[in-house]
Structure 1
């Protein structure tokens, strides 16, 4: 499925099938970090805890002066009605050819393929950028749902990072 990248008011917007990923700029991330909806309609009323945590990372990179547009948090939005079902994004800009992703879904959106589609779209976009050779992801050993998402996208498990299982991806399987 074709990934379409566009800009809307300075935001990167990635669209693929039923999914739209809307970049959350630092000012949006600040609202999300406070548990506020940031001008989005959330399936469960507010962003999930993982999305709030990711927003905090985007705010921190902005305050540290290392934020780069396109390399932070995205709202996972249903294209059909504009409802936000979770968050996905990067833990920061690329570093030595690698970038790390994460994702979180609202309770009501789990089990419908949104995390897999969001991770696939993020990886497809990232690996098309000249400064990215590898996409990384980590999970807790007991997080079987997240591990299944990574495996469906094509990630391969590599050496653990401390207590976390680590995965990497260098290309999107066809």
Structure 2
């Protein structure tokens, strides 16, 4: 399925079939970090805790002057109705050819393939950027669902990072 990228009001928007990833700029991220919907309709009313924590990373990067558009948080949105089902994004801009991703789904959206679709689309976009050669992700050893997402996308487990299991992807996902 083809990944389409566009911009809407300065935001990067990635669309692939049933999935739309809409960048959350620092002002939106500040609202999400406070658990507010940030002008989005959320499947469970508000963003999940993981999405709020990721939004805090975008806010902190903006305050530190290191935020780079396109390399922060994205809302995971159902294309058909515009409802946000979670968040995904980067832990920061590329560093020495690599970038790390993360994802979080609202409770009501789990088990329907949204995390797999989001990780696939985000990784595909990242690997198409000239400054990215590797996409990284980490999970806690007991997070079997997240490990399955990464394996479905095509990530390979590599050397652990402390107590976290580490995965990498070096070619566009299938």
TM-score, normalising length: structure 1: 0.99
Q: Which piece of structure 1 moves more, 164-173 or 102-111?
A: 164-173
Secondary structure of the corresponding residue to residue 36 of structure 1: coil
The total of aligned residue pairs comes to: 174
User: What CA deviation, in whole Å up to 9, does each residue of 1:70-100 have, x standing for no partner?
Assistant: 0000000000000000000000000000000
Shift of 1:173: 4.0
Alignment of 1:34-113 (within 5 A): 34-113=34-113
Q: Find the counterpart in structure 2 of residue 28 from structure 1.
A: 28
Could you say what the CA RMSD is over the residues aligned between the two structures, in angstroms? 0.5
Q: Find the counterpart in structure 2 of residue 8 from structure 1.
A: 8
Check whether the contact 1:153–1:172 (CA below 8 A) recurs between aligned residues: no
Secondary structure of the corresponding residue to residue 115 of structure 2: helix
Check whether the contact 1:5–1:14 (CA below 8 A) recurs between aligned residues: yes
Which stretches of structure 1, 4 residues or longer, exceed 2 Å deviation after superposition?
Answer: none
Shift of 1:172: 2.1
Shift of 1:158: 0.3
Equivalents in 2 of 1:162, 1:136: separation in Å?
15
TM-score, normalising length: structure 2: 0.99
Shift of 1:39: 0.2
Check whether the contact 2:124–2:173 (CA below 8 A) recurs between aligned residues: no
Secondary structure of the corresponding residue to residue 71 of structure 2: coil
Q: 5+ residue gaps in structure 1?
A: none
Equivalents in 2 of 1:173, 1:137: separation in Å?
14
Q: Find the counterpart in structure 1 of residue 124 from structure 2.
A: 124
* Alignment CA distance shift 1:23-1:173 (3 Å): closer
* Alignment CA distance shift 1:34-1:170 (3 Å): same
Equivalents in 2 of 1:132, 1:64: separation in Å?
23
